[in-house]
């Protein structure tokens, strides 16, 4: 079959963000940020307080780090050595869902089962030692309302999590209870941070001039250090929950997908940009091109990555991936069009994400010259998705113009674990 060229072109246009719109998004994001600092009800950003500033880089000691943010949970024993150095002594990792075996994130799962499982992983990380005292830092990558560094209540699940009995609860209380039930009384959870905060702490532990931390993976979100200039308040990292930014005009695929999602109306930017959702949008557009409007084929962002990477003349990988997911055999131009569609969705994602970074940079500069800085980013989309990094750089140039050379991005790989250990160390102050 050959795609309807007119329809194809329309879909590409719907997923394209030109320079004017890019500037508009960055400006709107900055506006929401400013509004949010004055009165959070006036903003689509949650502006959540983390009760932590930047580390000195000299934090030391051995800590437990629990990294709970997506389908994989990790518990690490980390030795902070100061001077930005650290050592991972032990690492335990397990998925929260193993098809056919267990599922702690689906509809039928409960808080008790989930935290019981996690407490079991903590036990493995301390190798059954129930005597040595450990402080535990917990990177919990969901929107949480904090009143101090320990006390974080889950506001709402994101990333399609559906476990019962966690929303509205203090997550570290659930963890403590589960640890106690296993006789683990020597591990004391003392800090909860968002994964974006963990990335920022980890990057700032190692180098100066980092004020923004971001996750660009299954989920997407960004935090930054708010200086609270001219106010009594000490500088503090704010978790924006930028995935909830709602001022980008959605296209009809975004609207339709949102309607069918676990939490309609929530996480509008995240549903346009993060790895969990790009494949879904691609699957909807593909169905329409195949004459099956309204259907959604299941593709993942890894499929999209493999589609984009196929440089063979016959686009053999593209054909195979499409056949596997849709049962359809495509040839010729259709295959390059499929690649173009995947690329366009990835490029859109990178552009909107960058617009939010620049909104923050403008807000931090407050009309003064933009500061030299590195934006710390962790996550599979940033790290591995073809076209992501280069389009972030391109969009930074488009938006920042002469200031662009002052800003770059750095990969903070595994920052969630290290950041949790740093937060545990900082909790002792
Ligand atoms: C969550 C954020 C998190 C991000 C990246 C989003 O779904 O709401 O809290 O930082 O995913 O993991």
Q: What is the edge-to-edge ordering of all strands in the sheet holding 407-411?
A: 48-49, 236-239, 220-226, 210-216, 373-378, 407-411
Cα-to-centroid distance, 221 and ligand 1 (Å): 5
Reported pTM: 0.96
User: Which residue out of 153, 161, 194, 246 has the highest number of ligand 1 atoms within 8 Å of its CB and is therefore the one to mutate?
Assistant: 194
User: Which amino acid residue places its CA nearest to atom 2 of ligand 1?
Assistant: 142
Domain ranges in the chain are 5-47+206-411, 60-193
* 347 three-class SS: helix
Per-residue pLDDT of the chain (429 residues; tens, 9 = 90+): 789 999 999 999 999 999 999 999 999 999 999 999 999 999 999 999 999 999 999 999 999 999 998 878 999 999 999 999 999 999 999 999 999 999 999 999 999 999 999 999 999 999 999 999 999 999 999 999 999 999 999 999 998 899 999 999 999 999 999 999 999 999 999 999 999 999 999 999 999 999 999 999 999 999 999 999 989 999 999 999 999 999 999 999 999 999 999 899 999 999 999 999 999 999 999 999 999 999 999 999 999 999 999 999 999 999 999 999 999 999 999 999 999 999 999 999 999 999 999 999 999 999 899 999 999 999 999 999 999 999 999 999 999 999 999 999 999 998 999 999 999 999 996
CATH architecture of the domain with residue range 60-193: 2-Layer Sandwich (3.30)
Residue 358 C-beta-side C-alpha neighbours within 13 Å: 26
Nearest of 202, 244, 208 to residue 378 by alpha carbon: 202
Give the separation between CA 171 and CA 149, rounded to whole angstroms.
Answer: 12
Beta bridge partners of 170: 153
Give the separation between CA 62 and CA 89, rounded to whole angstroms.
Answer: 9
* 104 three-class SS: coil
User: Which amino acid residue places its CA nearest to atom 8 of ligand 1?
Assistant: 142
Chain centre distance of CA 391: 18
Which distant-in-sequence residues (6+ apart) come within 8 Å of 231 by Cβ?
none
∠ CA 405-411-412, nearest 5°, is 125
- Number of the ligand 1 atom closest to the C-alpha atom of 144: 9
Return the exposure string of 49-63: e unless at least 16 CB atoms fall within 10 Å of the residue's CB, then b.
bbbbbbbebebeebb
User: Which residue out of 159, 266, 268, 275 has the highest number of ligand 1 atoms within 8 Å of its CB and is therefore the one to mutate?
Assistant: 159
| CATH no. for 5-47+206-411 | 3.40.367.20
Cα-to-centroid distance, 142 and ligand 1 (Å): 5
Report long-range pairs for 72-75 (Cβ below 8 Å, ≥24 apart). 72/96, 73/117, 73/118, 73/121, 74/121, 74/416, 74/417, 75/118, 75/121, 75/122, 75/124, 75/125
Cα-to-centroid distance, 219 and ligand 1 (Å): 5
CB 91, CB 72: distance < 8 Å:
no
Q: In this structure, what token pair is assigned to residue 93?
A: 């990792």
Place of tokens 């990790």: 74
Helix (H) or strand (E) holding 270, with range, is: helix 268-273
User: Which protein residues are within 6 Å of ligand 1, measured from CB?
Assistant: 69, 141-143, 158-159, 194-196, 215, 219-221, 241, 243, 270
Cα-to-centroid distance, 411 and ligand 1 (Å): 17
Residue 428: is it exposed, middle or buried by C-beta count within 10 angstroms (0-12/13-18/19+)?
A: exposed
Cα radius of gyration (the chain): 22
Cα-to-centroid distance, 415 and ligand 1 (Å): 14
- Number of the ligand 1 atom closest to the C-alpha atom of 244: 8
Cα-to-centroid distance, 267 and ligand 1 (Å): 9
What is the distance between the terminal CA atoms of the chain, rounded to a whole angstrom?
Answer: 66
Helix (H) or strand (E) holding 192, with range, is: strand 187-193
């Amino acid at each position: 079959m050959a795609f309807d060229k007119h329809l194809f072109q329309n879909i590409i246009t719907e997923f394209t963000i030109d320079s004017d719109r890019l500037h508009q998004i960055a400006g709107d994001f900055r506006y929401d940020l400013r509004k949010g600092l004055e009165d959070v009800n006036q903003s689509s950003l949650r502006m959540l307080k983390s009760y932590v500033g930047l580390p000195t880089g000299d934090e030391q000691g051995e800590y437990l780090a629990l990294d709970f943010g997506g389908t994989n949970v990790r518990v690490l024993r980390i030795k902070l050595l100061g001077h930005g150095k650290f050592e991972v002594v032990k690492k335990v990792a397990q998925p929260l869902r193993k098809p056919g075996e267990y599922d702690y994130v689906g509809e039928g799962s409960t808080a008790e089962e989930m935290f019981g499982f996690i407490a079991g992983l903590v036990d493995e990380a301390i190798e059954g030692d129930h005597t040595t005292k450990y402080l535990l830092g917990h990177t919990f990558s969901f929107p949480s309302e904090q009143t101090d560094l320990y006390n974080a209540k889950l506001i709402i699940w994101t990333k399609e999590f559906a476990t019962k009995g966690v929303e509205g609860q203090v997550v570290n209380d659930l963890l403590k209870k589960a640890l106690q039930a296993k006789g683990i009384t020597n591990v004391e959870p003392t800090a909860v941070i968002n994964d974006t905060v963990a990335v920022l702490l980890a990057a700032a532990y190692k180098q100066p001039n980092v004020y923004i931390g971001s996750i660009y993976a299954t989920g997407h979100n960004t935090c930054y250090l708010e200086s609270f200039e001219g106010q009594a308040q000490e500088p503090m990292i704010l978790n924006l929950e930028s995935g909830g930014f709602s001022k980008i005009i959605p296209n009809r695929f975004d609207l339709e997908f949102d309607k069918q999602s676990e939490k309609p109306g929530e996480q509008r930017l995240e549903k346009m940009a993060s790895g969990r959702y790009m494949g879904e949008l691609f699957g909807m557009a593909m169905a329409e091109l195949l004459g099956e409007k309204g259907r959604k084929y299941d593709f993942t962002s890894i499929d999209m990555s493999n589609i984009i990477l196929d440089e063979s003349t016959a686009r053999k990988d593209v054909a195979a991936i499409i056949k596997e997911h849709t049962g359809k055999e495509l040839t010729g131009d259709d295959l390059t069009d499929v690649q173009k569609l995947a690329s366009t969705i990835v490029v859109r994602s990178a552009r909107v994400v960058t617009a939010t970074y620049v909104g923050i940079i403008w807000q931090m500069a407050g009309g003064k010259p933009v500061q030299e800085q590195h934006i710390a980013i962790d996550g599979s989309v940033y790290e591995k998705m073809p076209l992501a990094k280069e389009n972030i750089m391109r969009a930074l140039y488009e938006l920042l113009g002469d200031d662009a050379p002052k800003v770059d991005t750095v990969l903070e790989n595994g920052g969630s674990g290290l950041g949790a250990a740093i937060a545990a160390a900082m909790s002792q102050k």
